[in-house]
């Protein structure tokens, strides 16, 4: 027969309280004794120099001609109740939903993003998800 003694039930909480009491009375660790400083006083003559922030307005005016607005059109499949099937879905699952799921509709979808002109030949740097599977890409610059 397995017997549980009542003192075993209280051993964990008693040990926890004992540890807290020991931490509270030990100097430098708990609530009594010498406390360490949270900061040190510095002489103003040896203070660390402050950095000046850049002029963000001037930076924006300088780079604005290189920023482009990208609008894309793509055809996407919609699933049940108008929900779009994820592009990353494996082809086996897409085929399953085409055969056994509700009828799929194809409707145009719009995407938007931004990018930067990175050289004089007109190459544009943007995120892949902005132009991935796009059938039409429209790029606008700040001066239209």
* pLDDT tens-digit map of 85-95: 666 778 888 78
Of the candidates 116, 111, 117, 143, the residue with the CA atom closest to the CA atom of residue 130: 111
Average pLDDT estimate for 75-88: 59
Confidence grade of residue 81 (pLDDT, cut at 50, 70, 90): very low
Question: Which comes out higher in pLDDT, residue 135 or 18?
Answer: 135
User: How far apart (Å, rounded) are the C-alpha atoms in residues 101 and 4?
Assistant: 58
Q: What percent of the chain is helix, strand and coil (3-state, nearest 5)? A: 35, 25, 40
């Amino acid at each position: 027969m397995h017997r549980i003694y009542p003192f075993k039930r209280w051993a964990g909480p008693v040990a926890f309280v004992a540890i807290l009491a020991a931490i509270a009375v030990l100097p430098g660790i708990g609530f009594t004794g010498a406390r360490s400083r949270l900061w040190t006083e510095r002489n103003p003559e040896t203070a660390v120099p402050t950095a000046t922030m850049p002029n963000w307005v001037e930076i924006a005016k300088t780079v604005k001609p290189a920023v482009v607005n990208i609008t894309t059109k793509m055809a996407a499949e919609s699933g049940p109740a108008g929900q779009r099937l994820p592009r990353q879905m494996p082809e086996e699952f897409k085929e399953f939903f085409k055969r056994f799921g509700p009828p799929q509709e194809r409707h145009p979808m719009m995407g938007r993003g931004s990018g930067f002109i990175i050289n004089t030949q007109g190459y544009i740097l943007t995120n892949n998800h902005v132009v991935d599977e796009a059938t039409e890409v429209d790029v606008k610059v700040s001066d239209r």
